[in-house]
Structure 1
Amino acid sequence: MSKQYNNHLVYLLLATLFISTSGALGKFIDLPIPVTNWWRSFIALFVLYAFCRYEKIPYQLKSKKNVLPFVLSALFMAAHWITYFYALKCSNVAIGMLSLFTYPIITAFLEPLFIKTKFDPMYIVLGALALLGIYILAPEFDLESTMFQGIFFGLISALFYALRNIISKNLISEHHYNATAIMLYQLGIVTLVLAPTLLFMDTSNITTQYPYVILLAIITTAVGHTLLVNSLKHFTVSTASIISSVQPVLGIVIAFIFLREIPNWNTFWGGMIILSTVIIESVRNQNRPKTHQDRM
């Protein structure tokens, strides 16, 4: 593998690790979910703005036609965060993260409809393999229980996440926006959209939750999601999605360490299957002939 490819892969894996902290933090933080995500976006917004000014990253809007994609991607991101946190609160970190990670399959089917990307039938095989791993990882649940509610919210969150990533990919490849600038716009819009929730939801507990909200804002959001969006410059959304399928494994390990949520043997077997999709797709992407878009 080339050094450049390895660097891109390392950044994508780091993004995966940082975003994996969202499960434990989302489950642990004791605030109304919209309020948590407002603070998350508000703090991350200022961090990324300072970073853009320091690195002289251009973030000016290039065309008024880009306003709608930015707004839609931000709304999908906000909806993804909120439904994902509801999935975590209704069930546990394992169920929340595993149900969310149906999004690689959703992405593989949606991406050719929105981006000039040829549908690769192999994505069906890899997506099914990742889904098998998720099925093995998931504990048994009663359809009338909170576990079912957690899975439902997780699946809805997966759809929003896939759509947000596809639009972000288009802003990078077609309109040549910097990944950090895209995340900056998305955070700004999310901050504005969620601001009214501060008026009618209880925010008094924020004084005891600051350390965890700051971790969520900086490590998970500002760094993790920006690295993920940046990876879309070098990988297709489907490739990035499948490689990121290791997130549930990392999230479950983090939840075990910090929340004492104990995984079972299914976690290990399912995790091995998911990791196999990461390795297979990494090798396939390295050997695949690069198109002009891929090189951009």
Structure 2
Amino acid sequence: MATKVQDLILINITTVLLGCSGLFAQLIPLPAPVIICGRLIIAGVCLMLPLLFMKSVTWITAKADLNKIMIAGILIALSWILFYAAIQMSSVSIGIISLYTYPCFSSIIEPFWYRQPIKKRHIFAALAVILGVFILSSHHIEGGDVMWGLVLGVASAILFTIRNLIVKPLTLAYSSQVLMGYQCVIGAFFCLPFFAKPLLLITGNTLALLLLSGIVFTALSHTLFVKSMERLSVTTVGIIASFQIIYAVILGIVFLGEEISKAVFLGGGIVLIAVVIENIFVSQEKNKAN
């Protein structure tokens, strides 16, 4: 019982850390692509360095797998850039809610990806996302652009979904730390030719925030998230992880003074409910398959 409680505390701490990630789009005074480039470099180093000292690591050497992980690395870089751009254009709440439509997009895209029949719940997920985003579009932010924030956030969610579908088969052969490390390094190399110069000029508080974002809120949070999945069920992890939406909105209010309107409350609530329901269905299907 004590171990399970510790695991639940761990996954909740991890979810808070992941929810904090979006704050850095507003806290770091740099364009979204530059922040993400730095974040990928730092996280890539933190994830890959420990692996170099481990003897039992399975590295990615097969050409087909390398091609997949290269595409996934580029997609994760683009997805994170769009996510941070969405927050900078609008708010943390708009950015995180629109990004977290990705489980619903997964249920919509996956049947086409694997040529499987579409289920009723896939239609429900699509309608829920459309309704939630439509309600969110009525939210007003002084000096911000909610519509563009939603467009960029949803685009980020779609790219993130495709990246997940590409990586999914690789999880059978490689550890999640290896896969995430490769993606961060590849994403960093993809971004560097465009954003290396601004990174070299970063000093002081900006550098400290960037290091914090890459080490604690990317590399560490990912490692803890994987650790929490060792003993907890997929359903528990999926549902608690969905609460990133709630944590991120609260953190945006506390640290950035963001306002939450009825549109954010209702639209975000619809998306959150749809995500939780989708996680439950996916978990049940996995249990039946096993």
TM-score under structure 1 normalisation?
Answer: 0.78
Structure 2 distance, partners of 1:282, 1:5, is 20
Q: Does 1:193 align with 2:201?
A: no
Contact 1:30-1:205 within 8 A present in 2 as well? no
From the superposition, tell whether residues 232 and 104 of structure 1 become closer, same or farther in structure 2 (CA, over 3 Å): farther
Q: Does 1:166 align with 2:165?
A: yes
Structure 1 distance, partners of 2:105, 2:226, is 18
Partner of 1:121: 120
Contact 1:16-1:247 within 8 A present in 2 as well? yes
Corresponding residue SS for 1:195: helix
Identity across the alignment (%): 26
Deviation at 1:245, TM superposition (A): 4.0
TM-score under structure 2 normalisation?
Answer: 0.79
Q: Does 1:92 align with 2:98?
A: no
From the superposition, tell whether residues 117 and 24 of structure 1 become closer, same or farther in structure 2 (CA, over 3 Å): farther
Partner of 1:246: 243
After superposition, give the CA deviation of every residue in 1:113-171 in whole Å (9 maximum; x if it has no partner): 334876543243245446545554554359xx732222221121111111111112121
Contact 1:44-1:217 within 8 A present in 2 as well? yes
Deviation at 1:197, TM superposition (A): 2.8
Q: Does 1:36 align with 2:35?
A: yes
Structure 1 distance, partners of 2:188, 2:235, is 28
Structure 2 distance, partners of 1:109, 1:8, is 31
Matches within 5 A, 1:71-220: 71-115=70-114, 119-126=118-125, 128-129=127-128, 132-133=131-132, 135-136=134-135, 139-141=138-140, 146-173=145-172, 176-201=173-198, 203-220=200-217
From the superposition, tell whether residues 277 and 57 of structure 1 become closer, same or farther in structure 2 (CA, over 3 Å): farther
Deviation at 1:287, TM superposition (A): 4.5
From the superposition, tell whether residues 238 and 114 of structure 1 become closer, same or farther in structure 2 (CA, over 3 Å): farther
Contact 1:31-1:203 within 8 A present in 2 as well? no
Opposite residue 180 of structure 1, the aligned amino acid is Q
Structure 1 distance, partners of 2:266, 2:65, is 44
Contact 1:104-1:241 within 8 A present in 2 as well? no
Deviation at 1:40, TM superposition (A): 0.7
Opposite residue 249 of structure 2, the aligned amino acid is I
Deviation at 1:227, TM superposition (A): 5.8
Contact 1:93-1:255 within 8 A present in 2 as well? yes
Structure 2 distance, partners of 1:239, 1:130, is 22
From the superposition, tell whether residues 200 and 282 of structure 1 become closer, same or farther in structure 2 (CA, over 3 Å): closer
How many residues get paired?
287
Shifted more, 105-114 versus 6-15: the winner is 6-15
Please provide the CA RMSD for this pair: 3.9
Deviation at 1:244, TM superposition (A): 4.5
Structure 2 distance, partners of 1:139, 1:13, is 31
Structure 2 distance, partners of 1:130, 1:244, is 18
Structure 2 distance, partners of 1:195, 1:92, is 26
From the superposition, tell whether residues 83 and 240 of structure 1 become closer, same or farther in structure 2 (CA, over 3 Å): farther
Deviation at 1:105, TM superposition (A): 2.6
Deviation at 1:182, TM superposition (A): 0.3
Gaps of 5+ in 1: none
Structure 1 distance, partners of 2:67, 2:281, is 34
Deviation at 1:109, TM superposition (A): 1.7
Q: Does 1:48 align with 2:47?
A: yes
Structure 2 distance, partners of 1:115, 1:150, is 30
